[in-house]
Each structure stands twice: as structure tokens, then as C-alpha cells.
């Protein structure tokens, strides 16, 4: 009886390497990612009106860009350009940080592409985004 | 003496299982494939936070 038990235990131990595997989840809870999210969230309050009036559009590669400078009064244009550039810096850092947090820096382009699709997918109606053919389309 | 043979009988099976287990876990640990679905889920969560989409839904 004892021997049978030992045999069963032995067989169970043989499968031990299968235990403790990471789930197919992406690690996104790091201090760096949290602070990038925070920074982008507070900037969004300023960017949202420019998404709404079409001045700023979402690019396919997960960035934002000045789409229609004429929609911004000349006096504000420099400030909006600064917002865009700061937002793009945060976004690039976000994609890089997610790849790094998951120990796969080489995943960065794929993470960026995924975000590119998801920003556009979740964009509110009226916002502009870049299509695969690099044309601008309004949601 | 005959009973002892049981261990030898299952040794090849156990070794095989162990090898299979190692191989399988190695595949997952190396994880060279990009987890596209997980990435999409993670992206959605971050975008919802940055754009505060949940809050807007509640406000509406």
C-alpha cells in the first residue's frame, strides 16, 4: 500500500515542472507605467477639445499628431504642439515600459501596434484617426 | 523482490512524464509568442483609465 502511494507521489512529482506557470497576462502594474498613465490622464483634459474639433488626430502607430492646424487659433498653436509632443513622449515610454516590464523589450512594436488599434477603436465619435492607407477618417 | 519491480516498471513512464513536463514548461517560460489577446486587454484597461471612459459612462 505504502509502495503504491510512493509510486503515485513519484508520478505527481514528475509533473512538477508544469506547476507555477505564469498566466498569459501582461504585466502593466509598475510604478513607471502608473506614473505615465497619470501624466497622460491629466494631459487628456487639455487634449480632448482638440480631438473633438479635429485639430489633433490619432495615428495608426499609437501616437497623436496635428491633423488640422487651422482648427487651432494661431496663438494657441504652439501650446497644442507642445501637448502633442509631450503626449507622444509618454506614449512611446508607455509602450517601451510595458515591453520591459514583461521582460520582452522586443515586443515594443507589437505593443505599440496593439495600442494603435485600441486607441482608435475606443475613440469617441467625432474624433479623427488615420486609416491603413494613411487617410484621415472621422469616427 | 517482485514488488520492487513495480518501481522499475513505471520508471520509464515517469521519466517520460517528467521530460514532457519540462518540455511543456520550457515552451511557456520562453514564451516567444506575443500574447495578442492579453495585450489588447491590457491596452483597453490603460486607455479606459487615461481617457476616463468608465467615468464618462457613469456620468451619462
ipTM of model over 0.85: no
Q: Which residue has the cell 483597453?
A: B44
H-only helix segments in B2-52: 5-30, 36-50
What's residue B56's pLDDT?
Answer: 56
Nearest-CA neighbor of A28 among B28, B50, B51?
Answer: B50
**Distance between CA atoms of residues A28 and A87, nearest Å:** 19
pLDDT digits (tens, 9 = 90+) for A31-56: 999 999 999 999 999 999 999 999 99
Mean pLDDT computed over A116-121: 98
Number of residues that this document lists for chain A = 139
Task: Give the nearest chain B residue to A25 (CA atoms).
Answer: B38
Q: How many domains does chain B have?
A: 1
Angstrom CA distances, B54 to A32, A98, B46, B58, stand at 23, 22, 11, 6
**Distance between CA atoms of residues A40 and A70, nearest Å:** 24
**Distance between CA atoms of residues A61 and A117, nearest Å:** 8
| Residue of A118, A119, A127, A129 for testing the chain B interface, max B β-carbons within 10 Å | A118
What's residue B30's pLDDT?
Answer: 58
What's residue B14's pLDDT?
Answer: 76
pLDDT of A81 strictly over 90: yes
Task: Find the chain A residues whose C-beta atoms sit closer than 8 A to any C-beta of B.
Answer: 3-4, 6-7, 10-11, 14-18, 21-22, 24-26, 28, 33, 37, 40-41, 44, 94, 98, 104, 107, 110-111, 114-115, 117-119, 122
Q: Are B13 and A14 in contact (CB under 8 A)?
A: no
**Distance between CA atoms of residues A103 and B30, nearest Å:** 10
Which phi and psi angles does A55 have, rounded to 5°?
Answer: -65, -40
**Distance between CA atoms of residues B11 and B22, nearest Å:** 16
Q: Please state whether the predicted TM-score (pTM) of the whole model is above 0.80.
A: no
- Judging contacts by C-beta atoms under 8 Å, the chain B residues touching residue A96 are none
Q: Which residue has the higher pLDDT, B13 or A56?
A: A56
**Can you give the residue range of the structural domain that contains B45?**
5-59
pLDDT of A121 strictly over 90: yes
Q: Which residue has the cell 520550457?
A: B26
Nearest-CA neighbor of A19 among B28, B38, B35, B46?
Answer: B28
Amino acid at each position: 500500500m505504502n509502495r503504491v502511494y510512493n509510486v503515485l507521489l513519484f508520478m505527481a512529482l514528475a509533473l512538477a515542472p508544469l506547476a507555477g506557470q505564469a498566466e498569459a497576462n501582461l504585466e502593466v502594474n509598475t510604478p513607471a507605467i502608473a506614473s505615465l498613465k497619470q501624466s497622460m490622464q491629466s494631459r487628456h483634459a487639455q487634449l480632448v477639445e482638440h480631438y473633438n474639433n479635429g485639430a489633433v488626430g490619432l495615428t495608426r502607430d499609437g501616437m497623436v499628431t496635428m491633423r488640422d492646424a487651422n482648427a487651432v487659433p494661431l496663438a494657441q498653436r504652439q501650446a497644442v504642439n507642445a501637448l502633442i509632443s509631450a503626449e507622444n513622449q509618454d506614449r512611446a515610454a508607455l509602450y517601451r515600459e510595458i515591453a520591459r516590464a514583461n521582460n520582452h523589450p522586443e515586443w515594443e512594436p507589437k505593443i505599440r501596434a496593439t495600442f494603435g488599434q485600441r486607441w482608435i477603436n475606443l475613440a469617441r465619435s467625432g474624433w479623427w484617426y488615420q486609416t491603413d492607407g494613411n487617410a484621415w477618417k472621422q469616427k | 523482490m517482485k514488488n520492487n519491480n513495480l518501481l522499475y516498471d513505471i520508471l520509464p513512464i515517469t521519466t517520460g512524464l517528467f521530460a514532457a513536463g519540462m518540455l511543456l514548461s520550457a515552451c511557456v517560460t520562453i514564451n516567444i509568442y506575443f500574447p495578442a489577446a492579453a495585450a489588447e486587454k491590457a491596452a483597453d484597461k490603460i486607455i479606459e483609465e487615461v481617457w476616463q471612459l468608465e467615468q464618462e459612462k457613469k456620468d451619462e
